[in-house]
Amino acid sequence: MITDPTTYQFLILRKAMKLYVDTGLKVNRNYTPYNMMRTATKFTGIFYKRGQLRLALDDMNAIYKGMKEMI
């Protein structure tokens, strides 16, 4: 069970980015590629430029794998 709001935000953002990269669909109109990359920067510490959503998703997936190993 997830009790930490930051972890929840991380997981939802990761899924929203995957949906957009795979299909081009946005979860809602606030989940633009720019906003998703800007939020991903908070978790990865890396600033992403336009068109680097796939790179941001790969970095988020690497963090997620690290999180799963800690559990």
pLDDT by residue for the chain (71 residues), tens only, comes to 677 898 899 999 999 999 999 999 999 999 999 999 999 999 999 999 999 999 999 999 999 998 777 65
CA-CA distance, 61 to 71, in Å (whole number)?
A: 16
At position 70, the amino acid (one-letter code) is M
Three-state DSSP at 29 gives: coil
Residue ranges per domain, the chain? 5-70
For position 70, what pLDDT does the model report? 66
- Beta-carbon contacts of 22 under 8 Å, excluding residues fewer than 6 positions away, are none
CA-CA distance, 2 to 49, in Å (whole number)?
A: 31
Instruction: State the pTM of this model.
Output: 0.87
Residue 19 structure tokens: 């949906």
